[in-house]
Amino acid sequence: MANVNTKEKSILQIIIDLSEKLQGCKLEEEFLKEEKENLEHLANYLNVDETSAVFFTVIFYLQMQESSASSLAEIADFLEIPHISILIYSQNFSLLQKKFLIEQKKSDSRLARRNDRNSGYEVTEPVVESIVEGTPIIQIEESKDTTDKIFMNFFNLFKNCLRNSCVDEDFYRTIATYERKYDQDEIMVNIKKEFPEDQESRIILYLLSSLCICGKNLMDEDSDFFSDIIGMFVKYTRAKRLREKTDVLYEKNLIKTSFEQISNDYRRRDCYASILKLSYEGVKKLFGSQAEKYAEEEDQKSNLEITIDALHEFAMTYEKRMSHLLKKRELSSLEEKFAELPFFKKILKTKLEAQDRFFLYDCTKDFLDGNESCLCSTLSDLYAKTNAYFTNLRKMLDEKDALSTNGFIEIEKNDVVERTTVTLSDRTIELIYGKNADLYKKKPICNKNILEPEKLKEKQLFYSEKVQKQIDMLEESLSQKNLVAMQKRLEKKGLSKGVAVLLYGAPGTGKTETVYQLAKKTNRKILHVDISESKSMWFGESEKIVKKIFTNYRKLCQDSERHLENTPILLFNEADALISKRKDVTQGNCAQTENAIQNILLEEMEKLDGIIFATTNLCNNMDKAFERRFLFKVEYEKPSLEARKKIWGSKLPELCDSDLEKLADRFDFSGGEIDNIVRKCEMTEIIKGTLPSYDEIAELCENERLDKEENECRVGFCFS
């Protein structure tokens, strides 16, 4: 197999190849000559000499094998050289450290240092990442102690504290050493000038300065320990002042707390966190001539941005583990603090109780983060599992709480109470976003299922005298003025306010078209439900879909009311499958699911405040429980001879009266069947250029039905 050119190999592959050959090589000259090409390539990459590259390779290899730091003795054993001989190469180890290629870890116990697996040398994390990814290593200037280098040292010092889970005397000695060693650095001078006798404040500023210079923050994946480590060297009272923003560092305007979006792998979504950092004024004051390099001038925040920060501050207090009364006191003080912000000012003008306002603030924060609020956990944060928790939970599930009744929130119920969610209503969204609220409002339902009254074509329908009277009464009842008056009277008497109408009878008799024409005449939208969509292939999903239909209808009603539009109509077309007789549950899961759907439908119809129409061809198979739910029940029969003649005449006005009478008498068709013939006539006229003759129309009629014997009306006696 041909040798691969060194230049074509990755750095990681070169290190792997070298490590296999370095073991037991004793650093003999013959070996170093043999591997000169690989060593030169690695040395150039690391910007060190070839001997230093050898030791780097050994440390890297042992670190990957043992997942621990390597002592000088272990390195000597690997190369099979005397332990004392390794001291000859101390300058090589110092060079690797100066280049920040390796770092030395020390054990807390000097007696245990020799055998401690956590003491010795290891390759720094950024260098390991660069080698694995095949990217260049960022080299730090070694001619002098630059600010970058100084605060990189601080950064690594704080990082080691987390790894050791303690801040010991060595930490404070190292801090003191750095302060003496770097006493000429401008930032160090300014920090010492601000707090000459306060080491605790200086340490906090060293930490925040190192983060600023290294481009990190307190919640970065590489430095997420800093929010915890502050408590390791700051007393409890000082940590409390920092949380409450009463600390001297805040008073001097050196630090600030901001709310920033971060990635949360545990929750698998982005969320907001409170971040402690140097303020813009703090960077200018401490960094002096270098401030321009690191200071990011703060843009003037909009009211919305300030409101978002305020809501996150509320949420942090809301989730604290403390008594309800103490939590309420803290939340009230925050409310006073932000009372001048437009959103809070509007909420405070409402008659909502304090606990309702706090609940709304938490839900609003979730909404702004792009998340839904869980009803149970949000209530639990406020009340824990006290009696107040269960009282409010029942209220909210029944939608009798102040937030629901006043239209600030919407409850999305679930059979499993812990999965019930809360979303903001359009009213609250308008309070937050003002004129831009339309961008964030949820569309009540898919537009394809909404029929607008102005887009419905006006048609003339022919009914029997009996049906016509019922349709006229329906039309009068559905005028918005009469509907509102009727609903008020029904409500006073404790009766259901909803208007449910069943249109039943033979196919093609105009049931669906009747709903369309009533909607057009009374200027109402129609939410048209496709029954097949409720027949989900996944068990349990059908019930959710039916519930969602009524949720969407209620949202459409609310939207119509806000825009001063008439109450819309909910249409279940061809609802045979939904209102048929209930099945024996012993027939299996499918029967249980269909019965569950019917129970939901019955329950929703009982509390419906709007208008529902259902059409069906199979009234005899309807479950008795549905019969009393329908206020109006209109039976459609096949059109009479006179009605058929009128329908033919309206569709084909070119035919003479005698031809119309013959067609009506000869063919016992419904309106839908006549429509089919008319469509075929139009196609024939387009193809031939002339209207079909009576005989041609009659021939089309004879082929309309599959059962030819029923095409024509029978005359005379019939024997079975």
Residue 299 belongs to a domain:
no
pLDDT category, 58, cuts 50, 70, 90?
Answer: very high
Q: Quick check: 525 pLDDT over 90? A: yes
Please compute the mean of the pLDDT values over residues 580-609 and round it to a whole number. Answer: 73
- Are 250 and 285 members of one domain? yes
Residue 88 belongs to a domain:
yes
Please give the pLDDT value at position 202.
Answer: 92
Full domain range(s) for residue 624: 448-636
Q: What secondary structure letter does DSSP report for 667?
A: B
How far is residue 595's CA from residue 581's CA, in Å, rounded to a whole number? 9
Please compute the mean of the pLDDT values over residues 492-496 and round it to a whole number. Answer: 81
Amino acid at 376: C
Name the residue with higher pLDDT: 168 or 249: 249
**Of 502, 483, 459, the residue nearest 626 (C-alpha):** 502
Please give the pLDDT value at position 114.
Answer: 43
Residue 717 belongs to a domain:
no
436 CB neighbour count, 10 Å cutoff: 11
Report the mean per-residue pLDDT for the chain: 80
- Are 460 and 433 members of one domain? no
User: Residue 572's domain is classified under what CATH number?
Assistant: 3.40.50.300
pLDDT category, 194, cuts 50, 70, 90?
Answer: very high
DSSP H helical segments within 165-279, as ranges? 169-181, 186-194, 199-214, 226-233, 236-244, 248-251
How far is residue 712's CA from residue 668's CA, in Å, rounded to a whole number? 7
Residue 715 belongs to a domain:
no
Please give the pLDDT value at position 246.
Answer: 86
- Are 326 and 340 members of one domain? yes
Please give the pLDDT value at position 221.
Answer: 41
- Are 98 and 219 members of one domain? no
Whether residue 318 contacts residue 362, with contact meaning beta carbons closer than 8 Å, is answered with yes
- Are 351 and 417 members of one domain? yes
Domain termination site, one of 133, 161, 193: 133
Q: Quick check: 703 pLDDT over 60? A: yes
Number of domains in the chain: 5
Residue 506 belongs to a domain:
yes
Compute the C-alpha angle 616/621/622, nearest 5°. 65
246: left (phi over 0), alpha (psi -120 to 50) or beta: alpha
**Which tokens sit at 252?**
């001097």
Residue 1 belongs to a domain:
no
- Are 593 and 627 members of one domain? yes
Residue 66 belongs to a domain:
yes
- Are 329 and 273 members of one domain? no
Whether residue 375 contacts residue 421, with contact meaning beta carbons closer than 8 Å, is answered with yes
Please give the pLDDT value at position 233.
Answer: 67
- Are 616 and 495 members of one domain? yes
Q: Quick check: 508 pLDDT over 50? A: yes
- Are 262 and 212 members of one domain? yes
Domain termination site, one of 439, 459, 484: 439
Whether residue 359 contacts residue 373, with contact meaning beta carbons closer than 8 Å, is answered with no
Q: Quick check: 588 pLDDT over 60? A: no
- Are 156 and 197 members of one domain? yes
| Across 53-62, 95-104, 592-601, least confident range | 592-601
Please give the pLDDT value at position 55.
Answer: 93
Q: Quick check: 7 pLDDT over 50? A: yes
Q: Are strands 526-529 and 569-572 parallel, antiparallel or unpaired?
A: parallel
- Are 251 and 160 members of one domain? yes
- Are 24 and 81 members of one domain? yes
Please give the pLDDT value at position 715.
Answer: 38
User: Residue 88's domain is classified under what CATH number?
Assistant: 1.10.10
Residue 327 belongs to a domain:
yes
Please compute the mean of the pLDDT values over residues 644-652 and round it to a whole number. Answer: 85
Domain termination site, one of 246, 273, 294: 294
